[in-house]
Amino acid sequence: MSEPFDIDEIRSQFPALSRAEGPHPAAYLDGPGGTQTPSSVIEAMTAPLRDGISNLGGGYGPSDDAVRITAEARDAVARFINASPDEIAFGQNMTSLTFAVSRALARTWSVGDNIVLTSLDHDANFAPWATAAQETGVEVRVAEFDTETFRLAPESVIGLIDDNTRLVAVCLSSNALGTVVDVKPISEAARRAGALAYVDAVHAGPHHRIDVAEMGCHFLAASAYKFFGPHTGILWGQLDQLATLEAYKVRPAPSDPPGKWETGTQSFESLAGVTAAIEHIESVGWGAIQEHETALGERFLAGIEGMDHVRLWGVPEMNENRVATFAISVDGLHPDRVATTLRERGLYVWSGHYYAVNVMDRLGLMESGGLVRIGFVHYNTADEVDRVLDVLQELRA
């Protein structure tokens, strides 16, 4: 049985949800690009700025506060992904952290090696690896998702792995199509080949539980602003990997993980916000979150099913293969036109490629403007779904 869920009480915790766009109440359906923050996160972030904060290692009150805030954030993320706190590093964002790890790993590659990437991934889990491979003369192999089912079969990735594979990078959930990937068999295949598995969990963050032990990967990256927190990147790595890899860092920085992977001084106010964001999710409960999102997704899918001018690009059911992120097109209308019309009604959505350039290339949609993305998280309502459906019904070319 899921936890009790009171949507009005949940929404009351998010000040931004009271915004209006002219006469229309604002509906934040842009969660895939960044979620809003509850009051608890805002307060957690403002407290150290208000009360005073100093850098690590000073040995006095405000400095000790920074040590405590950092430790609490590592503990919270460790709970969030089922890991150990000393395996958690923070950075500016997932992209920066992934570039840092790619540079470190590339030092261990040589000509004749290969890496396996996918066409389903956000470019932040593609370009860093492809760039490092180009610089080191390493072959890049790309596993393609199925353009009929919109799924990435584990076999399509596993079939590209061999004894010369050094890295397999894959997303846990697609930021463009909402597709969920079964990462575990991919990680297992990478391990058998002696390769490392790197998982992008950015889009999965607000939608379902993440368990690195269950997935069996070596690294995982996420971003707190996708799960109701601040703009802070998160890197998890198995301790032996974080310890043995040579990180790019300044000489006085720690030589041991996780500190060796954290370039410069961290944003302590943001780390306090990370902890608060995770505590918010814990207070609501994954069961309640998923049940609510599933209901919203089913309502949306049922609503567009009878619209012959609206096309869904993605898994057509709410099941274990997708989250409540939907990519659509409207016959005869450019995606920007559709998104603009929705935004004029206070419905905040995105159009374009959302940095998932390989997805749009694979679907043949890049030059035509990509797609319209509509995302639901636990603070969205059935009424907001209906408002979207009403506008889409009107948008007949």
In the chain, CATH 3.40.640.10 covers: 43-281
Neighbours of 64 (CB within 10 A): 14
C-alpha pair distances (Å), 48 with each of 58, 72, 92, 140: 16, 14, 19, 45
Is residue 397 predicted with pLDDT exceeding 80? no
Kindly state the average pLDDT of the residues 352-378: 98
The letter for the amino acid at 155 is E
Is residue 61 predicted with pLDDT exceeding 80? yes
- How many CA atoms within 13 Å lie on the side-chain side of 46? 7
- Write out pLDDT tens, residues 301-317: 999 999 999 999 999 99
Is residue 388 predicted with pLDDT exceeding 80? yes
C-alpha pair distances (Å), 260 with each of 16, 101, 243, 272, 311: 36, 12, 9, 20, 47
Domain 43-281: which topology? Aspartate Aminotransferase; domain 2 (3.40.640)
Percent above pLDDT 90 for the chain: 97
**Between 3.20.20.70, 3.90.1150.10, 3.40.50.300, 3.40.47.10, what CATH number should domain 7-33+285-394 receive?**
3.90.1150.10
Q: Cα–Cα distance between 155 and 172 in angstroms, integer?
A: 15
Strand 233-237, strand 88-91: pairing: antiparallel
- Write out pLDDT tens, residues 68-114: 999 999 999 999 999 999 999 999 999 999 999 999 999 999 999 99
pLDDT of residue 88: 98
Q: Cα–Cα distance between 90 and 175 in angstroms, integer?
A: 21
In the chain, CATH 3.90.1150.10 covers: 7-33+285-394
Q: Cα–Cα distance between 202 and 217 in angstroms, integer?
A: 15
**Three-state SS sequence of the chain:** CCCCCCHHHHHHCCHHHHCEECCEECEECEHHHCCCCCHHHHHHHHHHHHHCCCCCCCCCHHHHHHHHHHHHHHHHHHHHHCCCHHHEEEECCHHHHHHHHHHHHHCCCCECEEEEEECCCCHHHCHHHHHHHHHHCCEEEEECCCCCCCCCCHHHHHCCCCCCEEEEEEECECCCCCEECCCHHHHHHHHHCCCEEEEECCCCCCCCCCCHHHHCCCEEEEEHHHHCCCCCEEEEECHHHHHHCCCCCCCCCCCCCCHHHCCCCCCHHHHHHHHHHHHHHHHHCHHHHHHHHHHHHHHHHHHHHCCCCEEECCCCCCCCCECCEEEEEECCCCHHHHHHHHHHCCEECEEECCCCHHHHHHHCCCCCCCEEEEECCCCCCHHHHHHHHHHHHHCCC
Kindly state the average pLDDT of the residues 48-52: 97
Which residue in the block uniquely carries the two structure tokens 């419905």?
Answer: 347
- Write out pLDDT tens, residues 317-362: 999 999 999 999 999 999 999 999 999 999 999 999 999 999 999 9
Kindly state the average pLDDT of the residues 31-52: 98
- Contact criterion met (CB below 8 Å) for 222 and 202: yes
> Nearest Cα to 377, choosing from 174, 179, 181, 208?
208
Neighbours of 33 (CB within 10 A): 17
The rounded mean pLDDT for the chain is: 97
pLDDT of residue 21: 86
Strand 371-375, strand 350-352: pairing: antiparallel
Is residue 233 predicted with pLDDT exceeding 50? yes
Q: How confident is the model at residue 1 (pLDDT cuts 50, 70, 90)?
A: very low
Kindly state the average pLDDT of the residues 265-291: 97
C-alpha pair distances (Å), 301 with each of 310, 317, 324: 11, 7, 10
Kindly state the average pLDDT of the residues 118-147: 98
Cα 102 off chain centre by: 18
How much is the pTM?
A: 0.97
Neighbours of 101 (CB within 10 A): 27
Q: How confident is the model at residue 5 (pLDDT cuts 50, 70, 90)?
A: confident
Kindly state the average pLDDT of the residues 50-64: 96
